[in-house]
Amino acid sequence: MKKETTKKLSLITAAAMTAAMLSACGSDDGTQTSDATPSATKETTTATMASEDAEVVDQVEVDAEKLENGKLRWLSFWALEPEEGESVDVFLQLFKTKYGGEIEYIQTTDSTKYDDLATLVLGGNSPDMFPAADLDTFPGKASAGMFQPMDDYIDYDSELFPEGAKRINDMHTIGGKHYMACVAADAGTIILYNKNTIEEHGFDDPAELAYNNEWTWSTFKQMCYDFADAEQDKYAIDGWWYELAMMLSTGVPVIGMENGEVVNNIMDPNLARVQDLFREMHNAGVNFPRAEYNWKEHPERIGEGTTLFYPVGSWQLYEPDISAFGKPGEIMFVPMPRDESADEWYLSAAGGLDAYAMCKGAPNPEAVAAFIKCKLTANTDESVKEVNDKKLRSDYGWTDEMVEMYSYVNDLTNAHPVVDFYAAVNADVYELLHNPIKDASYNGTDWYQAREERSVVVQTYIDELNEKLKAMS
C-alpha cells in the first residue's frame, strides 16, 4: 500500500554526486560510452486485450485511486508495452484502467544504461523507474547515489508479495530501507530438451523425475554420460551461461548479501564441488565443443536429436520462435537439478526476477508504487491466472504441460530462491569473477587456482563497499 510522504532530494553536492555516479556508470566492462541524453517517447502499440479477457481484468479489485499524474518515466533497453501482434499484459491493463497510468519509454541500451541514468539524474530530468532484474543495481550503484529507497511508497509487508520476492527484497536493503521492488522470484534458468530424444534413448522423462523430486545432479550427470558419444557427433549439453545457476543450486552464491553486508563466498567448498563436476564433464567430452564451432551455440541440434540438454535463461521460452528445439509437443523443460548434498532444492532466480528500482529524484514515485501494485495483483490474483496462461499459449505457443511445468518451477524457485551479487559490486569484481565461473565448464580450467588468485583482491573491494553501506546506514 502506498504511504503518503514528501519526496526529498539528496543533499549531496552536485560535484560529489557527479564523481560518485561517473565512477559507477559505464558498461559492465568498465568502458565509458556516449553521454548523449536518451529521448523519451510515450509507449504506443496497436496491441489489445481480447474483450472477454478485458472483462475479467476489469472485475479485479484493486485498492486504487486514479493518479493525479499517470505518467511513469521508464528508462530501460526494453519496452513495457507488448510487441505488435501480442496481447496486452494483465499488469499493464490494470495500470491503465485502474490508475489512469501511461508509460513514457526512455530508451537506452544495456551497455549505456548507467551513463544515461547518470546524465538524466544530474540534469534534473530523472526517470521514475529502472529495471533491476539483472541484479546489477545493488549494492554498488545504490551506494553511488543512482537510486533511492522505496519504503515511503511501497508496503513491503503486503501479503501481495510472494515469500521468495520478500526474501530477495530484504537482501536489497541499506539501513532497513529497500532499494528494490521484486514482485516475482520466478524460474531463472531452465533446461530445455526434446521429448522424442529422451524417449528414443530409453531415459526417464526429466519432467516426471522433477515432479517426483528425483531430478538430481546424479541423475542429470548419468543421462549426460549415457548419451554423449563424440564419434557419433552426440553431445549432452549446449547453451551459454548456465554454470552460475548450477552453482547456486548448492544454496551458496559466489557473492552474497547477509544482514546488510556483502559476503565473499568464493572459497566455499560447495562451489568447488560444482566446479569439479564442470571440469570432469568437460574433460570427458560430454559438453558440446563450442570452440570447434566458433563459440556459438546450436539449439537446432536439440530438435535434431544430436544434443540432449540446453540449459538457458527462462527468457528463451518467450522468444517468438523456439522451433529449433523441436516441433510443437516435442519441446519440454525442467528446472536445474537438485543438489543432493544441499538441505533444500535451491534454484537461481537470476533471469527470472521481475524487479524494479526507483531512480534518484524520481518525479512520480506514486506512479511507481501503482505500477508495482498492478504487477503484484496480476501475479497473484487467481481470477486472472487463466488470462496469463492463455497469453503463454497464444503468443508463445506453449503447451499445457509447459504451462504446468512453468508454474511448478516458479513455485520451487519462490520457495528457495538464490541470487548472486558478483555483478553488482563494481566492474572490477565482475571482471575478476565472470570468466572463472564458467571456465571449468568451457575450457577445463582449474577453479582452485582461479579462486586463490582472486579471493584477496575481491575481498578488498567488498570491504570498501561495506564501509560505504555502513556509512549509509
Task: Please check whether residue 347 is in contact with residue 249, taking contact to mean a CB–CB distance below 8 angstroms.
Answer: yes
| Length of the chain (residues) | 473
Q: 378, 421, 409, 424: which is closest to 185 by C-alpha?
A: 409
**Residue 35, C-alpha cell as written in the block:** 553521454
Residue type at position 18: T
| Per-residue model confidence (pLDDT) at position 446 | 93
Can you count the helices (H) and strands (E) in the chain? 17, 17
pLDDT of residue 463: 98
Run of H or E residues at 466: helix 447-472
pLDDT for 51 equals 74
pTM of this prediction?
A: 0.85
Beta carbons of 188 and 325 less than 8 angstroms apart? no
Give the pLDDT of residue 60: 79
pLDDT at 415: 95
* Burial of 124 per CB tally in 10 Å (0-12, 13-18, 19+): exposed
The grid cell for 46 is 496497436
Distance CA 140, CA 110 (A): 17
For residue 140, which of 166, 179, 101 has the smallest C-alpha distance? 179
Q: CA quadruple 455, 459, 461, 462: dihedral positive or negative?
A: positive
- CA 413 – CA 345 distance, rounded (Å): 8
pLDDT of the residue at 26: 45
Query: CA-CA distance, 419 to 256, in Å (whole number)?
Result: 8
Q: Cβ(416)–Cβ(163) under 8 Å? A: no
DSSP 90-107: HHHHHHHHHH--EEEEEE
The phi-psi region of residue 400 (left if phi > 0; otherwise alpha if psi is between -120 and 50; otherwise beta) is alpha
Q: Is the dihedral of CA 54, 60, 65, 67 positive or negative?
A: negative
DSSP string, 408-458: HHHHHHHHSEE---TTSS-HHHHHHHHHHHHHHHHH---HHHHHHHHHHHH
Residues 39 and 344: their CA atoms lie apart, in Å, by: 46
Single out the residue of 334, 303, 297 nearest to residue 321, CA to CA: 303
**Which cell is 371 given?**
505500477
What is the spatial distance between Cα 354 and Cα 422, in angstroms, rounded to a whole number? 19
pLDDT under 50: residue ranges of the chain: 1-35
pLDDT tens digit sequence for 309-322 = 999 999 899 888 89
114 by Cβ neighbours in 10 Å (0-12 / 13-18 / 19+) ranks as buried
Are the CB atoms for 426 and 140 separated by under 8 Å?
Answer: yes
CA 142 to chain centre: 18
Per-residue pLDDT, 40: 66
